[in-house]
Amino acid sequence: MKEVEKTPRRVLVITGPTAAGKTALGVELALRLGGEVISADSMQLYRGMDIGTAKVRPEEMRGVPHHLIDVAEACENWSVSRWTDAAAAAAEDIFSRGHVPVIVGGTGLYIDSLLSGRDFAPAPGDMALRDSLSREYDAVGGEAFREKLRAVDPERAEKLAPADKKRLVRALEIYRLTGQTATEHDRRTRALPPRWPSMRIGVSFASREDLYRRIDRRADTMLREGLLAEVEALLASGTDEKSTAMQAIGYKELASFLRGERTLEQAAEDIRRESRRYAKRQLTWLRRDRELHWLLWEGDSPDTAAGAEYILALWRGQDPG
């Protein structure tokens, strides 16, 4: 039975590491709350990337509208700010129809930027300036370029590695265009109130070993279901191996296999290992959020219905027991 939504303009977030059961839980909660799902997965944006991103299938949606899935070609490169603008518009549209936005996904930076209202693009891009700075980086090297940034924005320079060309160039571009450092911009936007009230749920497993077993099984299932053919189709369509989409776990490893740089079994093992490492990074990111409510599954088979009941009790302000 659909719950009566009593708190207007509040969003529910279901996040957590890869393979934690977020998709099914988000659909169940959307059904019970009269909600619609906004995908917060940086790779489910792209068409033609269904298997490797564990994209929700039409039958799994159970009639729940899903937003920001299959909205871009794999050759496009979506930024955090572009996703945030699109997700904010989707949420406002959902609110306008009296429904609850249920944000589901594991890309923590996207979720944080959406909820905080932070602007990740303090200055419009200037391609001529960016190209000039990029050439300068190549000419002087990462360490020397970082010292140039340090002269105007020492805090940002300290956070960035010399090899992080993209962010070093962007930080100096921001300063040259606006006279304001990226650090100053971030400090100002962090002081802004949240975009909307939210309740945030982190979903994972009580045992790290159970999580890793699920990740390994998922990787094996993806390979059986045709992930290699999916990668071949993307490359055949002209998708550049350097594109954002092709950097996704599973895609870059199999592209390397297709180039003859590793065996298929080596690629499969790399996919499993990199997926586990990614899950660890996701958990590290989420532990910074002190307002996150954790739902930890026992065993390696999530009980979606019980999890939904627990979260609905929290949503209604009740003790979930």
Over residues 247-262, the pLDDT tens digits come to 999 999 999 999 999 9
For the entire predicted model, the pTM comes to 0.81
Q: How confident is the model at residue 245 (pLDDT cuts 50, 70, 90)?
A: very high
Q: Do 182 and 230 fall within a single domain? A: no
Q: Do 132 and 257 fall within a single domain? A: no
- For residue 318, the model assigns a pLDDT of 82
- For residue 57, the model assigns a pLDDT of 96
Distance CA(275)–CA(4), nearest Å, equals 38
> Do 315 and 12 meet the contact criterion of CB atoms below 8 Å apart?
yes
- For residue 8, the model assigns a pLDDT of 66
Q: How confident is the model at residue 88 (pLDDT cuts 50, 70, 90)?
A: very high
Q: Do 252 and 285 fall within a single domain? A: yes
Q: Do 268 and 251 fall within a single domain? A: yes
Is residue 6 assigned to a domain? no
**Number of neighbouring beta carbons within 10 Å of residue 37:** 27
Is residue 304 assigned to a domain? yes
| The total number of structural domains that make up the chain | 2
Q: Do 177 and 94 fall within a single domain? A: no
Q: Do 99 and 33 fall within a single domain? A: yes
Strand (E) or helix (H) holding 305: helix 304-315
Provide mean pLDDT across the span 260-285: 97
Q: Which domain holds residue 201?
A: 11-118+195-315
The runs of H, that is alpha helices, within 74-164 are: 80-96, 108-116, 127-140, 142-150, 154-159
* Span 192-232, pLDDT tens digits: 788 999 999 999 999 999 999 999 999 999 999 999 999 99
